[in-house]
Amino acid sequence: MSDELANPNTWQYVCYSLPVIIPLSVFMFNKCCSNKYNTLKSKVVLITGASSGLGETLAHEFYSHGCALILTGRNPTELERVKSDLLSRNDVKNVNKPCTLVLDLIDQSTIEVVSQKVLGVFGRVDILINNAGISYRGRADATTAEVDYKVMLVNYFGQVALTKALLPSMIHHKSGHIVAISSVQGKIAVPFRSAYTASKHALQAFFDTLRAEISHHKVKVTVVSPGYIQTNLSLNALTGSGSKYGIMDESTMAGYSAEYVAQQIVEAVVDDEQEVIIAPLYARLAIGLRYIWPRLYFWIMKYRANRYTSQKM
């Protein structure tokens, strides 16, 4: 030990300094973390499926950081409600008034037209949040082709078409961030979710490819794969016949809050993350197991399917 460290006065000085150093360090850390969100101020953010659920929560989260929002969805009344809720917030100082536009991803013919309206609002889109989606519950062999097509149309083709419509503007500005809200089920397939998992697998693959192809244009891509979220997604899910599922799953009720997921997504955007998995440990282990020991993974999924079937009989 050096003479300086061995000196009792040195240790005494350190001890006296701790009550100041520790709070100061915490303050500086929190200040650093809060300042990083300043990069979002006045960024133009387009959110699909913004009239409810995670999309609505994302709107509040981005709005709280000073973003200029373009909220899209199929229900104009609900979009205006979200807009009104944002404007009525007293805890947020945001000079940018949100804009609402009706967008139905099922109607592919309108996506190009709406995208031009979008660009006409603020002149650009800095951050595109591909959030809109539809879920599904049913047996693959008892699901109509129309349901398979509709789920794929909303969860994949609609997102891709909107991205392609806005991408030239991002490339022109040499700036932009595309966020695709996928799912853990975009990485692993589970029983009775065939149409949904297929659409999310496709979404994951497309945006992984796009990320590599447009990186030299300084346009970023983030794929977010959440686990279960406490929203009405399962209530509005389609069954194999095309009717609404109408049941709140136990797994959905036990999922993450939409607020927590939205915060994680915003943080991923600020930190320029390429991929984010928001899921508990067992889901992460399942993702790894699928690739490390597929035979065991397939056996577990078969067991899960058989157990579910036997419970319904």
Closest CA to 152 of 176, 168, 180, 133: 133
Residue 187 Cα distances to 139, 197, 201, angstroms: 19, 8, 6
Tokens of 63: 């709005």
Residues involved in catalysis? 196
- pLDDT tens by residue, 113-125: 999 999 999 999 9
pTM: 0.86
Task: Determine the Cα–Cα distance for residues 62 and 59; give it in Å rounded to an integer.
Answer: 5
- pLDDT tens by residue, 194-250: 999 999 999 999 999 999 999 999 999 999 999 999 988 888 889 999 898 888 878
> Position of tokens 């309206």?
117
- pLDDT tens by residue, 271-294: 999 999 999 999 999 999 999 999
Task: Determine the Cα–Cα distance for residues 106 and 264; give it in Å rounded to an integer.
Answer: 28
Q: Amino acid letter at 293?
A: W
CATH superfamily, with its number, for domain 41-279 = NAD(P)-binding Rossmann-like Domain (3.40.50.720)
Closest CA to 179 of 237, 238, 133, 134: 133
